[in-house]
Amino acid sequence: MSSSPLMDDLRSKIISDPESLLEDHDIMRALVAANEKSLGGNIVDLRGIAMERLEARLDRLEDTHRSVIAAAYENLAGTNQIHRAVLRMMDATKFESFLRDLGSDVAEILRVDCIRLVLESVTNTDDPAVARLGNVLNVAEPGFVDDYLTLGRNMPVRQVTLRQVQPEDHNIYGDKSDYIRSEACIKLDLGDGRLPGMLIMGSEDPHQFTPQQGTDLLTFFGGVFERAMRRRLS
């Protein structure tokens, strides 16, 4: 059988460097397909079947690898975001500026559309400071926090609750109630002898906070916020 110079050159290249041929998936698929075609339709090529299964498994492993790397980068980005928000929150020297920063700079760093602090109180809520901070601070009756977190149902109260919402009133979000579609609620322990509080982060994106997401970073943020509040309320 005669051969052309092109085939001779290709043959010599393959013999000199066979690894490059084996690493090329497209070439190997073409060779396997040609081999199966030469065997005929009535012959079962177990080697070809095995290669197809190995290729499928390799594709799944590569997809998993990419997903793990993407999740790691996302988690790292979230950690850095929480750290920057904590540092910005600690910059304030007065309680009023502390709350104002919470509703502006801290909310922007966390990429949420609004942040609300809810404090339970048995005293009169007609405090001028409460009026000045109305876009951040809400004062509610005792028992409001647990009732809000459980939606009035008889169930355990978690420290962090993530869910999709569509607020029916303006008690929490005010004029933004028509746009909020998901929220993260962090229950706050403000110390012995004090009623609980709640930090709420609201987003217009219905997928920003969902029950399937992890809560470790928000739990950490809530712990830092609790300690900052205890010092300022002392």
Calculate the CA dihedral of residues 88, 208, 184, 176 and round it to 10 degrees: 90
Question: What pLDDT is stored for residue 35 in this prediction?
Answer: 65
CB under 8 A, 24+ apart: contacts of 155-159: 157/187, 158/187, 159/186, 159/187, 159/215, 159/219, 159/222
Q: Indicate the pLDDT class of residue 1, thresholds 50, 70 and 90.
A: very low
Domain 82-233 classified CATH 3.30.420.40?
Answer: no
Please tell me the predicted confidence (pLDDT) of residue 16: 83
Structure tokens at 68: 């793990």
**8-65 pLDDT, tens per residue?**
787 888 788 877 777 777 777 777 677 666 655 554 555 666 667 777 787 788 778 7
Helix (H) or strand (E) holding 112, with range, is none
pLDDT of amino acid 138: 87
Q: Sign (positive/negative) of CA torsion 157, 168, 201, 105? A: negative
Residue 156, CA atoms < 13 Å, CB-side half-sphere: 3
Q: What is the pLDDT of residues 51-101, one digit of tens each?
A: 677 777 877 887 787 777 766 667 777 888 899 999 999 888 888 888 889
Residue 183, strand partner residues: 163, 202
pLDDT at 47: 63
Task: Copy the structure tokens of residue 191.
Answer: 């110390």
The distance from CA 115 to its chain's CA centroid, rounded to whole angstroms, is 17
Please report, as a single letter, which amino acid is at residue 96.
E
Instruction: Give the C-alpha separation, 137 to 114, whole Å.
Output: 11
Q: Where are the domains of the chain?
A: 5-62, 82-233
Band of residue 126 on the pLDDT scale cut at 50, 70, 90: low
Whether this model's pTM surpasses 0.75: no
> What tokens does 39 get?
């065997």
Query: Looking at residue 212, what DSSP letter applies?
Result: T
pLDDT tens-digit readout, 142-182: 999 999 999 888 889 999 999 999 887 788 888 888 899 99
Tokens representing 30? Answer: 């073409």
Q: What is the pLDDT of residue 184?
A: 95
